Amino acid sequence: MEKRDLSFAQLFNLSFGFFGVQIAYALQSANISRIFATLGADPHQLSFFWILPPLMGMIVQPLVGKYSDKTWNRLGRRMPYLVIGALIAVAVMVLLPNAGNFTFTQSVFLGLNAAMWFGLFSLMFLDTSINIAMQPFKMMVGDMVNEKQKGTAYAIQSALCNAGSIMGYIFPIFFTWIGLANTAPERVIPDSVKWSFYMGAAILILCVLYTFATVREMDPQEYARFHGIEKKDENAEVEKVNFLQLLIHAPKAFWTVGLVQFFCWAAFMYMWTYSPGAIAAQCFHWDGVSTAAAEYQDAGNWVGVVFCVQAVGSLLWAMLLPALERWTSNRGAYAISLLVGAGGFISTLWVTDPYLLWGSYLLIGAAWAAILALPFTILTNSLKGDNMGYYLGLFNCTICLPQIVASICGGALLKYVCAGAQVNMLVAAGVLLVLGACSVILIKEEKE
């Protein structure tokens, strides 16, 4: 079967819901450390709160991939998971920023007060639902787009991802600008953050419903023809394939790209975790004591601004990536992008003016653009269609596992290596990206 080209509108509709999902993810990335610090978490505890999101992703995404590979009904193949994940995410986004408003006992268990425990479980459900909603978009590109257009499809998805990030990151400072309070009583989340989550929840559900209404997934017969899957005898016994078998027979690109992913996602985990404290101390003269202080909360808003700048940098670099790939190769573009991002991270050590941070985070955006686009292009071109979703779900472990390792090591690294200075954790992130760039040489692209 000739693999037809999709129109730009079809490619856009296929990924538009990702815009809303990424708003939710951006709000989580930019505000979780701020929320838990406000609720009373010590800086050395912050990395442990970040273990849950990647842990849930590592569990959920392979399951979504596995079961959606076998789901064929009138709602679609991936769509049911997309809608269910979005609905759960909306509910949790309303509850999470209110963790400090509920009447809890003041008892402490395992070093956490009741509000932090509520926030922790809310975060677990939020990230689970975001993962459920996010994974179908990557799978639908693998399902419905031919090899020639996959680069374009993932570039559109990357652009929508960055646009959603910009909106999510900018919400807190926008709501502060229009008059909502950016400070609150001790251990209460400010209104500017709460309304950011409320607005993000509304946009998320509208975007997902748009994709649901405008995209028709293939039926099993059409899918088999599109991917060249041979029709099996109806009386033949169905071969059951478990994840260990899939890993054993995974293409080399799965493992080599996964190694690069390890360094990259550990680096960005440290950015999300320690940017609030680093920026507050470096640029806003925060004394490191009270997170209810205006200096810390102002820095929390500025984190959204510089993350927004990072997303703009990512959009701009994504436009350059095709030319860079033609000039060098996919591998060359990948390595250069990571080295540029490493320079951005390391430069934060000397920046004390909040506006000069824009330059640092613009450079970090180059690495983010490559991380969003190149790994999935390389991997999906090396995969067959029959287990596409399961492999993409398993590949998500190369995103989640490094974040878990980084979270476990973060507190000790901050205390014993970085001397308690959170900005040094951003420098460590730069070193990790350099290691990732060095690992790119191991990647060998394969075509099925």
Alpha carbons 328 and 441: distance in angstroms, whole number: 13
pLDDT tens figures, 79-129: 888 888 889 889 889 888 887 766 555 556 556 667 777 777 788 788 788
Record the tokens describing residue 233, joined without a space: 């005898």
Q: Note the pLDDT of residue 38.
A: 82
Hey, what are 2's tokens? Answer: 């000739």
Judge whether residue 279 has pLDDT over 90.
Answer: yes
| Element of type H or E holding 242 | none
What is the tens place of the pLDDT at every residue in 27-79? 988 888 888 888 777 776 677 777 777 777 777 777 777 777 777 777 778 88
Q: How confident is the model at residue 335 (pLDDT cuts 50, 70, 90)?
A: very high
pLDDT at 109: 57
pLDDT of residue 166: 87
Q: What digits encode the pLDDT tens for the residues 173-212? A: 999 999 999 888 887 889 999 999 999 999 999 999 998 8
What are the DSSP calls for 74-123, one per residue? TTBSSHHHHHHHHHHHHHHHHHGGGTTTS-----EETTEEHHHHHHHHHH
Min mean pLDDT across 132-141, 214-223, 239-248, 326-335 is at: 239-248
Most confident of 77-81, 243-247, 280-284: 280-284
Average pLDDT value for residue range 297-305 = 89
- Answer yes or no: is 231 within a domain: no
The residue with greater pLDDT, 382 or 302, is 302
Residue with more model confidence, 357 or 255: 357
Which CATH number do you get for residue 338? 1.20.1250.20
| Res 264 pLDDT > 90 | yes
In this structure, is residue 447 part of a structural domain?
Answer: no
Sign of CA dihedral 263, 268, 269, 270: positive
Residues 197 and 302: their CA atoms lie apart, in Å, by 17
Average pLDDT score, the chain: 82
Inside any domain, residue 243: no
The pLDDT of residue 103? 58
**Structural domain includes residue 86:** yes
pLDDT digits (tens, 9 = 90+) for 411-438: 889 888 887 788 999 999 999 999 999 9
Q: How confident is the model at residue 242 (pLDDT cuts 50, 70, 90)?
A: low
Structure tokens at 325: 């790939």
Report pLDDT for 177: 92
Query: How many residues are present in the chain?
Result: 448
pLDDT at 443: 81
280 within a domain of the structure (yes/no): yes
Residue pLDDT, tens place only, 18-38:
899 889 988 988 888 888 888
Residue 236 in domain: no
What's the token pair of residue 11? 């490619």
Domain of 392 in residue numbering reads as 8-223+248-442
What pLDDT score was predicted for residue 221?
76
Looking at the domain assignment, is residue 240 inside a domain?
Answer: no
pLDDT at 236 over 50: no
Average pLDDT over residues 282-300: 84
CA distances 255 to 150, 250, 251, 259, 316, Å, are: 20, 8, 7, 6, 29
Task: Decide which of 157 and 107 is more confident.
Answer: 157
**Rounded-to-5 percentages of helix, strand, coil across the chain:** 75, 0, 25
Supply the pLDDT for residue 127: 79
* DSSP for 115-184, written as a single string: HHHHHHHHHHHHHHHHHHHHHHHHHHHHHH--HHHHHHHHHHHHHHHHHHHHHHHHHHHHHHHTT--S--
Once rounded to an integer, what is the mean pLDDT over residues 303-312? 90
Q: Please check the confidence at residue 395 and state whether its pLDDT lies above 80.
A: no
Q: What is the largest CA-CA distance in the chain?
A: 72
Q: Is residue 152 part of a domain?
A: yes
- How many domains is the chain partitioned into structurally? 1
pLDDT(237) > 70: no
Mean pLDDT across the stretch 269-287?
90
Sequence letter at residue 294: A
Q: Give the residue carrying structure tokens 């596992």.
A: 401
- Greater pLDDT, 238 or 239: 239
pLDDT for res 280 = 92
Cα(246)–Cα(233) distance, rounded to whole angstroms? 22
Least confident of 47-51, 282-286, 356-360, 396-400: 47-51
Q: Report the SS3 class of residue 62.
A: helix
Distance CA 394, CA 392 (A): 5
Q: Where does residue 221 rank: exposed (0-12), middle (13-18), buried (19+ CB within 10 A)?
A: exposed
Residue 388's pLDDT is: 62
For residue 3, the model assigns a pLDDT of 66
Q: Which pLDDT score is estimated for 349?
A: 93
Full 3-state SS string of 193-213 = HHHHHHHHHHHHHHHHHHHHH
